Structure 1
Amino acid sequence: MKKQKNQQEAKPKAEFIFQRKNYLFMFIGLIFISLGFILMSGGGSDDPNFFSPDIYNFRRIRLAPTLVLIGLGIEIYAILLNPHKKKSK
Protein backbone atom coordinates (compact mmCIF):
# COMPACT_ATOMS: atom_id res chain seq x y z
CA MET A 1 0.00 0.00 0.00
CA LYS A 2 2.82 2.37 0.79
CA LYS A 3 4.44 1.64 -2.57
CA GLN A 4 1.32 2.79 -4.44
CA LYS A 5 1.27 6.05 -2.54
CA ASN A 6 4.87 6.83 -3.50
CA GLN A 7 4.19 6.07 -7.15
CA GLN A 8 1.24 8.43 -7.18
CA GLU A 9 3.27 11.22 -5.59
CA ALA A 10 6.12 10.79 -8.07
CA LYS A 11 3.89 11.67 -11.03
CA PRO A 12 4.79 15.12 -12.34
CA LYS A 13 1.95 17.60 -12.39
CA ALA A 14 0.81 18.47 -15.92
CA GLU A 15 1.44 22.16 -16.55
CA PHE A 16 1.07 24.43 -19.56
CA ILE A 17 4.15 26.11 -21.00
CA PHE A 18 2.50 29.54 -21.00
CA GLN A 19 0.46 31.08 -18.21
CA ARG A 20 -2.35 33.63 -18.27
CA LYS A 21 0.09 36.55 -18.34
CA ASN A 22 1.81 35.17 -21.47
CA TYR A 23 -1.50 34.79 -23.30
CA LEU A 24 -2.55 38.31 -22.29
CA PHE A 25 0.60 39.80 -23.82
CA MET A 26 0.17 37.62 -26.93
CA PHE A 27 -3.37 38.94 -27.36
CA ILE A 28 -2.18 42.55 -26.97
CA GLY A 29 0.54 41.92 -29.57
CA LEU A 30 -2.01 40.47 -32.00
CA ILE A 31 -4.17 43.57 -31.56
CA PHE A 32 -1.20 45.81 -32.43
CA ILE A 33 -0.32 43.72 -35.49
CA SER A 34 -3.94 43.62 -36.70
CA LEU A 35 -4.37 47.36 -36.21
CA GLY A 36 -1.17 47.99 -38.17
CA PHE A 37 -2.34 45.91 -41.12
CA ILE A 38 -5.77 47.55 -41.07
CA LEU A 39 -4.18 51.01 -41.13
CA MET A 40 -1.87 49.92 -43.96
CA SER A 41 -4.74 48.87 -46.23
CA GLY A 42 -6.43 51.02 -48.85
CA GLY A 43 -5.14 54.08 -50.66
CA GLY A 44 -5.20 52.52 -54.09
CA SER A 45 -7.13 53.64 -57.13
CA ASP A 46 -9.72 51.69 -59.09
CA ASP A 47 -8.79 53.52 -62.26
CA PRO A 48 -5.33 52.46 -63.58
CA ASN A 49 -4.96 55.83 -65.39
CA PHE A 50 -5.26 57.81 -62.15
CA PHE A 51 -2.49 57.88 -59.50
CA SER A 52 -3.50 58.47 -55.92
CA PRO A 53 -0.77 60.10 -53.80
CA ASP A 54 -2.81 59.00 -50.78
CA ILE A 55 -0.81 55.76 -50.78
CA TYR A 56 2.26 57.65 -49.49
CA ASN A 57 0.69 59.36 -46.49
CA PHE A 58 2.04 59.18 -42.92
CA ARG A 59 -0.45 56.56 -41.79
CA ARG A 60 0.58 53.95 -44.39
CA ILE A 61 4.32 54.67 -44.53
CA ARG A 62 5.22 55.34 -40.87
CA LEU A 63 2.44 54.59 -38.41
CA ALA A 64 1.17 51.21 -39.65
CA PRO A 65 4.57 49.50 -40.05
CA THR A 66 5.63 50.86 -36.65
CA LEU A 67 2.54 49.31 -35.04
CA VAL A 68 3.28 45.98 -36.72
CA LEU A 69 6.88 46.02 -35.44
CA ILE A 70 5.74 46.97 -31.92
CA GLY A 71 3.24 44.10 -32.03
CA LEU A 72 5.97 41.66 -33.08
CA GLY A 73 8.15 42.92 -30.22
CA ILE A 74 5.30 42.35 -27.77
CA GLU A 75 4.84 38.82 -29.15
CA ILE A 76 8.53 38.03 -28.62
CA TYR A 77 8.31 39.42 -25.08
CA ALA A 78 5.22 37.28 -24.39
CA ILE A 79 7.01 34.14 -25.54
CA LEU A 80 10.14 34.84 -23.49
CA LEU A 81 8.26 36.00 -20.37
CA ASN A 82 8.70 33.67 -17.41
CA PRO A 83 5.62 34.04 -15.17
CA HIS A 84 7.12 31.77 -12.49
CA LYS A 85 10.08 34.08 -11.83
CA LYS A 86 10.00 35.44 -8.29
CA LYS A 87 10.39 39.18 -7.78
CA SER A 88 13.45 40.07 -5.76
CA LYS A 89 13.78 43.14 -3.57
Structure 2
Amino acid sequence: MGEQKQKEANKAVFIFGKKNYKFMFIGLAFIALGFILMSGGGTDDPNVFNEEIFSWRRIRLAPMLVLLGFGIEIYAILLNPVKK
Protein backbone atom coordinates (compact mmCIF):
# COMPACT_ATOMS: atom_id res chain seq x y z
CA MET A 1 0.00 0.00 0.00
CA GLY A 2 2.88 2.39 0.72
CA GLU A 3 4.32 1.64 -2.71
CA GLN A 4 1.08 2.75 -4.40
CA LYS A 5 1.14 6.14 -2.66
CA GLN A 6 4.80 6.64 -3.55
CA LYS A 7 4.09 5.96 -7.24
CA GLU A 8 1.23 8.47 -7.17
CA ALA A 9 3.47 11.05 -5.51
CA ASN A 10 6.21 10.57 -8.14
CA LYS A 11 3.79 10.94 -11.05
CA ALA A 12 4.69 13.92 -13.27
CA VAL A 13 2.30 16.82 -12.89
CA PHE A 14 2.23 19.47 -15.60
CA ILE A 15 1.46 23.06 -14.70
CA PHE A 16 -0.69 23.60 -17.78
CA GLY A 17 -3.35 21.38 -19.27
CA LYS A 18 -3.77 20.15 -22.83
CA LYS A 19 -6.02 23.11 -23.69
CA ASN A 20 -3.37 25.57 -22.47
CA TYR A 21 -0.68 24.02 -24.66
CA LYS A 22 -3.00 24.04 -27.67
CA PHE A 23 -3.56 27.78 -27.27
CA MET A 24 0.17 28.34 -26.73
CA PHE A 25 1.03 26.64 -30.03
CA ILE A 26 -1.67 28.63 -31.82
CA GLY A 27 -0.21 31.85 -30.36
CA LEU A 28 3.30 30.85 -31.43
CA ALA A 29 2.02 30.19 -34.95
CA PHE A 30 0.49 33.69 -35.10
CA ILE A 31 3.73 35.26 -33.87
CA ALA A 32 5.84 33.30 -36.36
CA LEU A 33 3.49 34.17 -39.24
CA GLY A 34 3.65 37.85 -38.29
CA PHE A 35 7.45 37.87 -38.30
CA ILE A 36 7.55 35.99 -41.61
CA LEU A 37 5.20 38.55 -43.18
CA MET A 38 7.38 41.38 -41.82
CA SER A 39 10.54 40.09 -43.47
CA GLY A 40 11.85 41.04 -46.90
CA GLY A 41 11.41 44.23 -48.87
CA GLY A 42 15.08 45.09 -49.02
CA THR A 43 17.27 45.76 -52.01
CA ASP A 44 20.73 44.62 -53.05
CA ASP A 45 21.79 48.11 -54.12
CA PRO A 46 22.01 50.56 -51.18
CA ASN A 47 21.54 53.53 -53.57
CA VAL A 48 18.08 52.35 -54.68
CA PHE A 49 15.06 52.95 -52.45
CA ASN A 50 12.39 50.26 -52.49
CA GLU A 51 8.82 51.39 -51.75
CA GLU A 52 7.84 47.78 -50.93
CA ILE A 53 9.15 48.29 -47.38
CA PHE A 54 6.08 50.45 -46.66
CA SER A 55 3.50 47.93 -47.88
CA TRP A 56 0.24 47.34 -45.99
CA ARG A 57 1.35 43.81 -45.17
CA ARG A 58 4.51 44.95 -43.36
CA ILE A 59 3.11 48.04 -41.66
CA ARG A 60 -0.36 46.89 -40.58
CA LEU A 61 -1.00 43.16 -40.97
CA ALA A 62 2.23 41.65 -39.62
CA PRO A 63 2.40 43.71 -36.38
CA MET A 64 -1.30 43.02 -35.71
CA LEU A 65 -0.66 39.28 -36.08
CA VAL A 66 2.30 39.46 -33.69
CA LEU A 67 0.28 41.38 -31.09
CA LEU A 68 -2.64 38.99 -31.50
CA GLY A 69 -0.23 36.08 -30.98
CA PHE A 70 1.07 37.62 -27.77
CA GLY A 71 -2.52 38.14 -26.60
CA ILE A 72 -3.29 34.48 -27.27
CA GLU A 73 -0.16 33.50 -25.32
CA ILE A 74 -1.29 35.56 -22.32
CA TYR A 75 -4.76 33.98 -22.54
CA ALA A 76 -3.18 30.50 -22.70
CA ILE A 77 -1.14 31.17 -19.57
CA LEU A 78 -4.08 32.58 -17.59
CA LEU A 79 -6.57 29.91 -18.73
CA ASN A 80 -7.51 27.51 -15.94
CA PRO A 81 -7.06 23.94 -17.08
CA VAL A 82 -9.94 21.56 -16.53
CA LYS A 83 -9.14 19.51 -13.44
CA LYS A 84 -10.73 16.11 -12.91
TM-score relative to the length of structure 1? 0.80
For structure 1, list consecutive stretches of 5 or more residues without a partner in the other structure.
Answer: none
Amino acid at match of 1:56: F
* Aligned partner letter, 2:13: E
Aligned-pair distance for 1:8?
5.2
Q: Which has the larger radius of gyration?
A: 1
The percent of aligned pairs where both chains have the same amino acid is 69
2:41 aligned with 1:43 = yes
55, 58, 66: which one aligns with 1:60: 58
Aligned length: 82
Match of 2:74 in 1: 76
Whole-angstrom CA distance in 1 between matches of 2:13 and 2:26: 23
The Cα RMSD (Å) is 2.0
- TM-superposed deviation, 1:6: 6.8
Cα distance in 2 between the residues matched to 1:6 and 1:46: 71
What's the CA shift string for 1:15-51, capped at 9, x where partnerless? 2101110110000000000000000000111101100
Amino acid at match of 2:49: F
Give the match for residue 24 of structure 2. 26
